[in-house]
Every structure is written in C-alpha cells, then in structure tokens.
C-alpha cells in the first residue's frame, strides 16, 4: 500500500491517554494528538478542505495564489496542499509568532509578511487587513479567510468529529478544544452533539481574549483585549465559524499556566506539543477538577500542534525566564 500524495495522510490521528497529569481524576482523559498530521497540526485538515472547496466553486484557477492571514499552522496546511496542487502562497502573520513557524512556511516556498500584533483588526497594518488587501490586488488569487470560511467548520464536522466518535466507540462524554477561529471546536462539537446531545463541549480561551466574557454575557468588551503570548487561540474578533451555541463552558488560561503545562506534557507524558496544547490541557483538567467529571466519564482534548514550532520560546529556559515564567 502507498499514498498518492502527502495530502492523503491527513487525519486519523491517534487518541492517547494522559496518565501522570490526570492521575488524580477518576474518569479517563484522552488527548487527540494532531501533530501526527503531515504538517504537524490540526490545520492540515482545513487547509486541504478550503482549497478543494474553492476549486469546486471556481474561486481559484491553476497557477493561482493563495493568500491568508495565519498564526502559522493554517499556513502550513495551505502550503502543503499548494505544493501538490501547483499554487503560490503569500501568508501574513503577526510579530508574536515563533521564528520556527515562519521558517517552515518559507521552506515550503511561501512568501511571509510579518505584521504588528498590537493593532486593531481593521487597522490597515493588521495581518487580517494586509491579507485582504493583497487578495484584492493580485490577479487569480484566493483569500480563504479561515475565520469566516464555512469549509473550516465543515472539515472538522466531516473528519475530527467522526474520528473521535469512532475511536471512543461512542463513549466520549466531554470534548475540549482551544478557541481560535472557531472551526475545530464548532465543527467537531456539532457532529458529536448530533450523536449524543449530552456530550459537554468545553472551550479553552486565552487570558487577553474576548471569548470568555462574550460567551458568558453576550458583550463584546474591548477592555478584555490585551497582548498575550499563547499562539493560535483567543481572538480580538468574533469569527463567523465560532458557534457559541455548541459550547457548554469556557475556561480561560493565562500564558504561564499554558506554558508550564506544555513543558509538563513533554516531561511527564512524552508529548512534545505547542503552547495552545498546554492551555487546552490545563483548562480541561481545571474543568474536570471542578466536579463535573466522574469515573464513568471520558474526556477528549484536542492537542493542535507540535512543540517543534516553539523550541526557541516555550522550550527555551532563557526565553521563559525573561518572560517571568521560570525562576
């Protein structure tokens, strides 16, 4: 048996039990390890789906250019598909992203434009605005806009949700995912709740993001927004892919707890993953310890990406000390 291209290896990532970090809990805690995807992240799923749907709708033609704003992982997913399908790529990102992410995008032939983090989303310098402007200026270009593109959510409804249901033989009771563009948590939750409406979906937000307060009050409070270092989760906008009706609770995690847990996942579970993974696990375990998790429960946590993107940051003692996360 062989695969016709690297794209056929996307999906069917494993579930792995947490042993040491969850040893105080009676129920079972599993993590779905998305770095087994070829681009080492959950975003491979949506990169391929958004391009294939665009091709079907005639939104991009052979030899075209894919232009997207990304924290790095969606760019990798899009770049992998572009290599196989023959498209060029231009990605905009923020100056808080790790250098490793930018280097990996360039290694796949993409052009990367770094934009300031601490500006309003509608500021012409923001990575959202720059991506949109370039897509309007460059002929035969396609702007997937992962935040509002329904193919993002649909990719997880078609793949991630069914995989979790089948891998747990329908016994999953709690589903936990970071809240970024909204596609992973919304698409997967929709599928799982269609199978069993009692499944609890817990979103994990980053301290400095608007999501938690918006979920709890319906108010978009700009005073909640402040810079944070965790990449890939939390937002200063409300994307169309974020369906709060499919979420039962939101846990907010600060950078320190996210990064310390990320290191613990490597050192105590052998899982070399990224900062948003640490945030997801910390938030999930805090939720489980709050009392809504018994011996018959089975929790699945999405671990979105690999620690290889963060060797110069989270796994670098000097960087962690400079940021005040290590003595």
Q: What gap in Å lies between CA 285 and CA 29, rounded to an integer? A: 9
CB-neighbour burial class of residue 139 (10 A; exposed 0-12, middle 13-18, buried 19+): exposed
Where would I find the beta strands (DSSP E) of 170-311? Answer: 174-178, 200-206, 249-253, 298-303
Q: What gap in Å lies between CA 238 and CA 222, rounded to an integer? A: 12
Contacts of 23 (CB under 8 A, 6+ apart): none
Active site residue 207: no
Under DSSP, is residue 301 helix (H, G, I), strand (E, B) or coil?
strand
Q: What gap in Å lies between CA 153 and CA 9, rounded to an integer? A: 20
Place of tokens 């993974």: 277
* Cβ-contact 119, 127 below 8 angstroms: no
Q: What gap in Å lies between CA 156 and CA 55, rounded to an integer? A: 19
Q: What gap in Å lies between CA 204 and CA 68, rounded to an integer? A: 24
Q: Which of 41, 44, 55 is nearest to 86 (CA)?
A: 55
Decide the pairing of beta strands 15-17 and 28-33: antiparallel
Instruction: Please tell me which residue in 43, 190, 212, 313 is annotated as part of the active site.
Output: 43
DSSP structure class, residue 300: E
Give the active site residues.
43
């Amino acid at each position: 048996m062989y695969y016709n291209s690297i794209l056929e290896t996307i999906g069917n990532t494993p579930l792995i039990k947490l042993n040491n970090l969850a040893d105080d809990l009676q129920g079972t805690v599993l993590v779905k390890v998305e770095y087994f995807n070829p681009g080492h992240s959950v975003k491979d799923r949506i990169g391929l789906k958004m391009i294939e749907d665009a091709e079907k709708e005639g939104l991009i033609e052979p030899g075209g250019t894919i232009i997207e704003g990304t924290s790095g992982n969606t760019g990798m997913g899009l770049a992998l598909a572009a290599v196989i399908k023959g498209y060029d790529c231009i990605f905009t990102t923020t100056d808080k992203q790790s250098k490793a992410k930018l280097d990996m995008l360039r290694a796949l032939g993409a052009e990367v434009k770094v934009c300031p983090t601490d500006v309003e989303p509608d500021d012409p310098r923001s990575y959202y605005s720059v991506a949109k402007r370039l897509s309007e200026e460059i002929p035969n270009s396609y702007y997937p806009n992962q935040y509002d593109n329904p193919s993002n959510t649909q990719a997880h409804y078609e793949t991630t949700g069914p995989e979790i249901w089948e891998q747990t033989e329908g016994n999953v009771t709690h589903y936990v995912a970071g809240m970024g563009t909204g596609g992973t948590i919304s698409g997967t939750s929709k599928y799982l709740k269609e199978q069993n409406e009692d499944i609890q979906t817990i979103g994990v937000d980053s301290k400095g993001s608007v999501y938690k307060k918006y979920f709890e009050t319906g108010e978009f409070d700009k005073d909640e927004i402040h810079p944070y270092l965790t990449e890939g989760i939390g937002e200063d906008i409300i994307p169309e892919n974020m369906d709060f009706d499919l979420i039962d609770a939101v846990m907010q995690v600060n950078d320190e707890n996210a990064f310390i847990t990320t290191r613990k996942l490597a050192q105590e579970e052998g899982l070399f993953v990224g900062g948003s993974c640490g945030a997801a696990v910390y938030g999930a375990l805090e939720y489980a310890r709050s009392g809504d998790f018994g011996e018959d429960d089975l929790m699945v946590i999405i671990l979105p990406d690999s620690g290889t993107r963060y060797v110069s940051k989270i796994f670098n003692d000097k960087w962690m000390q400079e940021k005040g996360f290590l003595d």
